[in-house]
Amino acid sequence: MDWLNSLLNLIVPPAGLIMLAFSWPTLFFLHACEWLFRTLYREDMDGKVVLITGASSAIGEQIVYEYARRRANLVLVARRENRLWGIRDNARLLGARQVLIMAADVVKLDDCRKFVGDAVSFFGHLDHLVNAASLGHTFFFEEATDASVFPHLMDINFWGNVYPSFVALPHLRRSHGRIVVNASVDSWLPLPRMSLYAAAKAALVNFYETLRYEVKDEIGITVATHGWVGSDMIGGRFLLEEGAEMQWKEEREASFAGGQVEEFARSIVAGACRGDANVRFPSWYDIFQLYRVFAPDVLSWTFRLLFAAQPTRKTSAIGVGTKREEPTTITHSSPPPLKIE
């Protein structure tokens, strides 16, 4: 078997590249035709029912407005009910037919059963489930002094998507509906200061890529990956869109709109209505996939150069960039300020 693997190692990669080179023009033409067809005959969302988690801020809020412009019926889910009232009013002004708001925690399965069940009971069906809840960070892994924050990243970024999808699947199957996922380029591009976030997003993307084969053509799945969509990600802070029970309150009402977030939301909804399997924003990040596969050393050298000039890091309180003179033991110190992603 060893000799067989050695032989295949020599034959398969070059043969695969040659086949790809010859098939690429045909594949590109077919994809272009498919994109044109889906653009001309995209799904009409007028009167359709769309449930959006993480709808109280940032990307989730902008997705609400995009569906509202398409005159959909909306169900807005977030923990901060007070934020949802104003977003509901904005959505109505933009053209949404009916808008329900529900305060719930996406990492609690019982909450997911309740808001999905209430939405279906009210409207009679469900057409799109948009999982927009996300929690990011910008601290080096070794800077964290309180590991109790780690599960929150996995809970919100992974289970906060899986639980609503699990509950909604039977309803989406009946309506031949669609799941829309807010992922990130960090799921495959190894960016420093985002190790835990990247791991959670990678698990998320792999889950939905596998689920796509399980549900076949009965339920559509659109995985949207975004690169840099804002400039507030500095200093090793947590970046909250919306998610699980977080004790920290400071700066949670910070505004984070901006052109890039709005454009990404517009791309997500347009792609979902076309039936696209993947939405990438901005698309120029795709070039790094080639480097990741064929020249991974180039990415490694680039990141080393980018971070070589940074000063020596010191341990910080819960990874929030609050510098200490002397390293200390792990304590449950004051919670970090939060920023919207």
Task: Please identify which residue in the block is written with the tokens 């596998």.
Answer: 210
Q: How far, in Å, CA of 124 to CA of 276, rounded?
A: 26
Q: Is the peptide bond before 25 cis (omega within 30 degrees of 0)?
A: no
Q: Which of 65, 32, 28 is nearest to 50 (CA)?
A: 65
The total of other beta-carbon atoms located within 10 Å of residue 285's CB is 16
Q: Which of 67, 197, 208, 285 is catalytic?
A: 197
Q: Which of 341, 338, 327, 333 is nearest to 147 (CA)?
A: 333
197 classed as catalytic: yes
Burial 191-230 (b: 16+ CB within 10 A, else e): bebbbbbbbbbbbbbebbeebbeeeeeebbbbbbbbbebb
Q: Which of 224, 115, 223, 126 is nearest to 176 (CA)?
A: 126
Task: Please identify which residue in the block is written with the tokens 């150069």.
Answer: 305
Catalytic residues: 197
